[in-house]
Structure 1
Amino acid sequence: MMKKYALLALAALSLTPFAASVAADGDDKAKPKYNVLFIAVDDLNNDLGTYGNTFVKSPNIDRLAERGVRFDKAYTQFPLCSPSRSSLLTGQRPDVTKIYELQTHFRKNLPDIVTLPQLFKNNDYYSARVGKIYHYGVPGQIGTDGLDDPDSWNYRVNPKGRDKTEEPLIKNLTPDRGLGSALAWRATEGTDEEQTDGMIAGEAIKIMTEKKNEPFFLAVGFFRPHTPYVAPQKYFDMYPVDQVPLPKEIPNDLDDVPEAALFTKPPHWGLDEAKRREALRAYYATITFMDAQVGKLIDAVDKLKLADKTIIVLWSDHGYNVGQHGQWMKQSLFENSARVPLIISVPGGTKGKASGRTVELVDIYPTLAELCGLDPKQNLQGKSLTPLLKNPAAPWNKPAYTQVRRGQIFGRSVRTERFRYTEWDGGKAGMELYDHQKDPGEFTNLAKDKNFVITVNELAVLLKKGYPETEQETGR
């Protein structure tokens, strides 16, 4: 018996900080005061090495995944910048924030809400922002505060690089569309450090260096790969345009898709294959450029000896279509637009594992609050991911909800580990059901298939649970 107790005591001494905090069973004194490095990437989809894309070069995000848990089924609540970021940073879903567009500030609707960075600021963390965390119009508002929230920060920086000053030199493949929503690109001269994202990385490292001896919440928001796709020439050289693979498409793909589901009209905005490869090459080049800046942040954490007390979170505000179903960019409820990369690395925690559970961006706020022992003192609509950070395959029955607005109607979608089910205008403008086990490309809409009547009914109930105001809005 004595030997058993001795072994248990030895095991307790060898626990990592993360494991020790779990073993303490809620004893805040046992929890180390973690820093948080909160990395936001604008318009990044899952075309990354760690997510299985063998063409795109993302070595630094890949190595971050080896330091933590990669979530393979993580979803945005609204595939558009401001609604998504407002939801994540307040811990509330879009139907609570009432942010469905790019102009309204969330404080107009939720004046007293405590945001995620504000929670840390209120608990004696140094809260700083570099670049885009809340919404900015890109490229128009680069170098400004955009729709920032001053209450969230002790300090904020808005770099502006040559990508902004050389805007007139950008090539627009879709000239009828403004640069912020166009397929537009430029391969520039000069160095990474002259670009806005390179400057963002440099400013963030300065803050980490200055504040390395006190707890910090450092939010670093990269603008790329948001269009216009601008990066130094060397990143374009990594992707010969004739080798860029276009997504699979099938004849008559859109025959069973509701009209409301389509954002890009006509498909591909009429661009031929050569121009689509040109645009996709530029998107991938900017991913690799942004990835290099992420690498600088990871290196700085290690060089400053902060790795054993810094949680690193990397997320994107939404996914990005690059030609699937003829669609480009965001604002759709197809998988490529709704799904996001999400990686969380906790000191001493699980490393190099993937979780296949359905999770949401709104879950990040409660997760960081729990990991750092902070009480939000308000209701949060997400669920802490700490069980999945300890065991990525832990039991989990929470679906993921994503919505978008088309004029005056909403599309609302629920994602389980197997299915995606979507209703447009409460079903009046169409429904979609995709079986991701057999059809990961979402080519066959099963919503009217008699063999899936029970599935549709079950998912319709699940959808309504996620959107309690839906019934009132649709008059059902």
Structure 2
Amino acid sequence: MKPIVYFLTLLVVNSQVLHAQQKEPAKKKYNVLFIAADDLNNDLGCYGNNFVKSPNIDRLAKRGVLFDKAYTQFPLCSPSRSSLLTGQRPDVTGIYELQTHFRKNLPEIVTLPQLFKNNDYYSARVGKIYHYGVPGQIGTDGLDDPISWDYKVNPKGRDKAEEGNVKNLTPNRPLGSALAYLATEGTDDEQTDGLSANEAIKILEEKKDKPFFLAVGFFRPHSPYVAPKKYFDQYDLDKIPLPKEIANDLDDVPEAALFTKPAHWGLKEAERREAQRAYYATISFMDAQVGKLLDALDRLKLSDNTIIVFWSDHGYNVGQHGQWMKQSLFENSAHVPLIISVPGGNKGKVSPRTVELLDIYPTLAELCGLDPKQNLQGKSLTSLLKNPSAKWDRAAYTQVKRDKIMGRSVRTERYRYTEWDEGKAGIELYDHLKDPDEFHNLAKSNEQAKTVKDLAILLKKGFSSQP
């Protein structure tokens, strides 16, 4: 071999060896955009409600997996959020009301955002993630957990300043638990949620080159239902689709099951239409703010490396069984929207499996390769993100405290079974295959005796399990 040829050959070989010896570049960490809505039920286009306008949440559903049967652990803000963010059921957190901070009972627990913070993610909160009283605590820290975050923002907008202009259809109830609304003048950007979206976008712009866990908590559609007038104008008051009601619906329902007494708080149909339209208007307003976040991710070229989770802390009754708001164990109160979008994952798929908000913590930990180093009571949804119809052997458990007694409910893909005060204050069984509106309580049916027995065992098993 001629010297020059030998030299060139040697150069090529050495170059190949050096290239092979170089370490592959470290895989870039996933970012997480964690979007919470407050008091949002499943009245969304992507969940089959064609009346409510939710184009941006619908757009997100097309980018990921929609969980059709996702459930809260407790249909009240602080107990639900404390459970989701610690990965523990309410019986472990000990949070059943709106005043106690979970750290009083679990001082050493590592929360979901704290896990990311502890693993070199930039952890930031905008708005309501842990509990805030609404509207009273807007602009404050509420029951925040400071060690969960590197940075926090507490926006306060025009909606807070104009509380005195709100129309309260239930004047004996405080604004945060009233059917009250205001179609306000001005722009989205003047509202607390509009400010929240803009603050979140600033964080995306500033931290786009560093792994982040960004939690954005919108206050709407929590009451009072406040949004710019243009969102109210999207809904014709006379065409609001009031939920179906049947005569003597509550004759077979235990007294403990009822939160709204008397039914509809005595409101006439015209007033109920006002309240429901206002609720839908605030859904559409909140949806527009979600759209801003999705647009920012695309503009900043972050979509290909950001996991998006969209959830609500619980569902919401808008007149079903004469009930309003949360704090019941009927389907509309326990059922929540949950959408998870993973870069490169399934798009526009629907999972029919019964899952829980409690499952979000282990899911994000697994997707991002983080070890919680503590027991979590949920189960990672990664298998369902890969195959939304994969085999799944878990039911969903929801509970609520009613005065001095506890109601506990288990939801399978077909049934909901509920016991009040361990059955002493009544039991309920609904067959969602035949009765999706839960009009017929089958708990005393001889034909369903075995189903009741089996589900009673499943209920006890689920609530007796400890981490």
Task: Kindly provide the amino acid, as one letter, of the partner of residue 427 in structure 1.
Answer: G
Match of residue 344 from structure 1: 340
Residue 469 of structure 1: CA displacement? 7.8
Match of residue 124 from structure 1: 120
The total of aligned residue pairs comes to: 443
Q: What is the CA–CA distance in structure 2 between the aligned matches of 1:347 and 1:30, rounded to whole Å? A: 17
* From 48, 52, 57, the counterpart of 2:48: 52
Q: Deviations over 1:397-447 (max 9, x none)?
A: 100000000111100000000000000000000000000000000000000
Bigger-Rg structure (1/2) = 2
Residue 468 of structure 1: CA displacement? 1.0
* From 204, 215, 219, the counterpart of 1:219: 215
Contact 1:31–1:372 (8 Å) recurs in 2: no
Q: What is the CA–CA distance in structure 2 between the aligned matches of 1:469 and 1:364, rounded to whole Å? A: 19
Q: What is the CA–CA distance in structure 1 between the aligned matches of 2:284 and 2:99, rounded to whole Å? A: 30
Match of residue 317 from structure 1: 313
Secondary structure at the residue paired with 2:419? strand
Secondary structure at the residue paired with 1:176? coil
Match of residue 395 from structure 1: 391
Q: What is the CA–CA distance in structure 1 between the aligned matches of 2:443 and 2:220, rounded to whole Å? A: 36
Contact 1:31–1:373 (8 Å) recurs in 2: no
Q: What is the CA–CA distance in structure 2 between the aligned matches of 1:355 and 1:333, rounded to whole Å? A: 22
Q: What is the CA–CA distance in structure 1 between the aligned matches of 2:62 and 2:113, rounded to whole Å? A: 26
Task: Kindly provide the amino acid, as one letter, of the partner of residue 105 in structure 2.
Answer: N
* From 145, 153, 172, the counterpart of 2:149: 153
* From 255, 260, 273, the counterpart of 1:259: 255
* From 258, 273, 279, the counterpart of 2:275: 279
Residue 353 (1) aligns with residue 354 (2): no
For structure 2, the 5+ residue unaligned runs are 1-24
Q: What is the CA–CA distance in structure 1 between the aligned matches of 2:32 and 2:88, rounded to whole Å? A: 21
Residue 183 (1) aligns with residue 179 (2): yes
Secondary structure at the residue paired with 1:137? coil
Q: What is the CA–CA distance in structure 2 between the aligned matches of 1:195 and 1:295, rounded to whole Å? A: 15
Match of residue 460 from structure 1: 456
Match of residue 299 from structure 2: 303
Match of residue 135 from structure 1: 131
Residue 30 of structure 1: CA displacement? 7.6
Secondary structure at the residue paired with 1:37? strand
Match of residue 192 from structure 2: 196
* From 74, 88, 97, the counterpart of 2:93: 97
Match of residue 206 from structure 1: 202
Task: Kindly provide the amino acid, as one letter, of the partner of residue 170 in structure 1.
Answer: V
Match of residue 5 from structure 2: none
Match of residue 371 from structure 1: 367
Residue 108 of structure 1: CA displacement? 0.1
Q: What is the CA–CA distance in structure 2 between the aligned matches of 1:427 and 1:313, rounded to whole Å? A: 36
Secondary structure at the residue paired with 1:447? coil
Residue 32 of structure 1: CA displacement? 4.0
Task: Kindly provide the amino acid, as one letter, of the partner of residue 420 in structure 2.
Answer: W
Match of residue 69 from structure 1: 65
Q: What is the CA–CA distance in structure 2 between the aligned matches of 1:107 and 1:273, rounded to whole Å? A: 44
Match of residue 430 from structure 2: 434
Q: Deviations over 1:66-121 (max 9, x none)?
A: 00000000000000000000000000000000000000000000000000000000
Q: Deviations over 1:228-269 (max 9, x none)?
A: 000000000000111111000000000000000000000000
Match of residue 114 from structure 1: 110
Q: What is the CA–CA distance in structure 2 between the aligned matches of 1:251 and 1:131, rounded to whole Å? A: 42
Q: What is the CA–CA distance in structure 1 between the aligned matches of 2:132 and 2:156, rounded to whole Å? A: 13
Secondary structure at the residue paired with 1:427? coil
Q: What is the CA–CA distance in structure 2 between the aligned matches of 1:31 and 1:43, rounded to whole Å? A: 37
Q: Deviations over 1:352-374 (max 9, x none)?
A: 00000000000000000000000
For structure 1, the 5+ residue unaligned runs are 1-28, 471-476
Q: What is the CA–CA distance in structure 2 between the aligned matches of 1:54 and 1:469, rounded to whole Å? A: 39
Residue 233 (1) aligns with residue 240 (2): no
Residue 380 (1) aligns with residue 362 (2): no
Secondary structure at the residue paired with 1:145? coil
Residue 467 of structure 1: CA displacement? 1.0
Once superposed, what is the RMSD of the aligned Cα atoms? 1.1
Secondary structure at the residue paired with 2:337? strand
Task: Kindly provide the amino acid, as one letter, of the partner of residue 418 in structure 1.
Answer: R
Q: What is the CA–CA distance in structure 1 between the aligned matches of 2:403 and 2:248, rounded to whole Å? A: 26
Q: What is the CA–CA distance in structure 2 between the aligned matches of 1:61 and 1:276, rounded to whole Å? A: 25
**Percentage of pairs with the same residue:** 82
Match of residue 170 from structure 1: 166
Task: Map 1:324-343 to 2 at 5 A.
Answer: 324-343=320-339
Q: What is the CA–CA distance in structure 2 between the aligned matches of 1:51 and 1:240, rounded to whole Å? A: 21
Could you say if the C-alpha distance between residues 54 and 292 of structure 1 is closer, same or farther in structure 2, counting changes exceeding 3 Å? same
Q: What is the CA–CA distance in structure 2 between the aligned matches of 1:54 and 1:254, rounded to whole Å? A: 28
Q: What is the CA–CA distance in structure 1 between the aligned matches of 2:81 and 2:315, rounded to whole Å? A: 13
Q: What is the CA–CA distance in structure 2 between the aligned matches of 1:132 and 1:469, rounded to whole Å? A: 30
Q: Which runs of 4+ in 1 moved over 6 A?
A: none
Output the TM-score relative to the length of structure 1. 0.92
Q: What is the CA–CA distance in structure 1 between the aligned matches of 2:304 and 2:186, rounded to whole Å? A: 35
Q: What is the CA–CA distance in structure 2 between the aligned matches of 1:426 and 1:172, rounded to whole Å? A: 37
Contact 1:321–1:329 (8 Å) recurs in 2: yes
Task: Map 1:407-422 to 2 at 5 A.
Answer: 407-422=403-418
